[in-house]
Amino acid sequence: MKRRHSSGDREFNPETLALGYAYDPTLSQGSVKPPVFLTSTFQFETAEEGKRFFELAYGLREAEEGEETGLIYSRLNNPNLQIFEERMAAWDRSEAAATFASGMAAISTSMLALLQPGDLVLSTAPVYGGSHYLFANILPKFGIETHFVSAGDGAVDRMREVAKKLGQERVRVLFTETPANPNNQHSDIAAIAAFADELRTAGSDAHFLVDNTLLGPVFQRPADLGADLVIYSATKFIGGHSDLIAGLATGTSALIKRILEMRTILGTMTTPFNGWLLLRSLETVSVRMRRQAKNASRLAKLLAEHPLVESVAYPGLLKEGSAQRQLFERQCSGPGSLISFTVKGGQEVAYRVLERFEVFRLAVSLGGTESLVEHPMTMTHADVPKADLEARGVSPGLIRMSVGLEHLSDLLRDLKHALAT
């Protein structure tokens, strides 16, 4: 199956590409679905072929027209990963993709591929706790400095101020997670992309990275808005069944080539079986995410009306006419299924609510078929200073909820029961 239909040369929709693109059944005994290529190494037909494959793999020469990198060793490439990567690049409308052992492997490998000592990273905050730890505690050991600015309205202006103060020529990475985890604040992807262009025009080798885990790949496409690299914890919605750990980056061929070189040497790729599981899951990601968002919309309305709930952060409840609402409508096609809500009474009451759920599971992660709840301040974001979290609306009473595929009536009943403390 090609990326475009021969009738009218029109590109297939991603839901269609996810079921057939980048796979030729004739190469696998006619199997309709890709088999699992559980092999560490691949046999060459000739010694000359092996030589050519390694020349391309290690950048010893440029590929000839129509020449592709051959299969060598599953640390470099594997059919299950390559099929998934081509399908995800098509979905994101990017040129290429790279799969990793986790979302953090995707972020850390990309950062190490793009940054050098003395470079500056500008990131919105809050971000996932693991990302924050990487930026605040690991990258400084390599002489790389990160400055955080609050996500949401005006994030790009705050980035511009920091760059002007610390030196625009030092800025190598602009990073945003939007919506932000866990306060659901949206940052303007197109505006930050324009700032990245300004930096490049001024002589900086800047790249703009977007963590698209919370709404992608269905409800937000950062590449269409100017992002250079789109990163996912594929563990979440893309994997979608809480049975694998994986990460993904999609972007330009030139950028992915640099990242793949680092992935090869660090060994941060995922396994062939995980690649097969991701292919399985990608076929239903659109159906799952839309159903989860439908459930979440109803639960968010219940939360907004409950007397124990102080506030609710959910894209579908953004105030009409507000800057956040206008931004959401410009860059997103749906609200997703992650809800953050704050209960009155702080951590003590939040813990009581969390422990009364019977359908929702008290566990971290998100995007799986099952519904989950957790306490960000003491769990997923425990490494972030509390003062920083509270300054960005993440209080001791905040609960993060990932809505799954259970029957809506059961979820509503369970939520009412948990709040009746």
Residue ranges covered by each domain of the chain: 79-282, 286-419
SS3 311: strand
Task: Enter the CATH code of domain 286-419.
Answer: 3.90.1150.10
Q: At the topology level of CATH, where does 79-282 sit?
A: Aspartate Aminotransferase; domain 2 (3.40.640)
Task: Report pLDDT for 7.
Answer: 83
φ, ψ for residue 104, nearest 5 deg: -65, -35
Identify the band that residue 92 occupies on the pLDDT scale cut at 50, 70 and 90.
Answer: very high
Q: Which residues contact 164 (CB under 8 A, 6 or more apart)?
A: none
Task: Report pLDDT for 5.
Answer: 87
Peptide bond into 396 cis (omega under 30): no
| Signed CA dihedral, 332, 337, 342, 344: sign only | positive
Gap between the Cα atoms of 264 and 258, Å rounded = 10
Q: Judge whether 79-282 and 286-419 match in fold.
A: no
Mean pLDDT over 384-411 rounds to 96
* Cα atoms found within 13 Å of the Cα of residue 335, Cβ hemisphere only: 26
Task: Report pLDDT for 66.
Answer: 84
High-pLDDT (> 90) share of the chain, %:
94
Identify the band that residue 97 occupies on the pLDDT scale cut at 50, 70 and 90.
Answer: very high
Q: Has residue 421 got a pLDDT over 80?
A: no
Identify the band that residue 63 occupies on the pLDDT scale cut at 50, 70 and 90.
Answer: confident
Gap between the Cα atoms of 103 and 65, Å rounded = 33
pLDDT digits (tens, 9 = 90+) for 314-341: 999 999 999 999 999 999 999 999 999 9
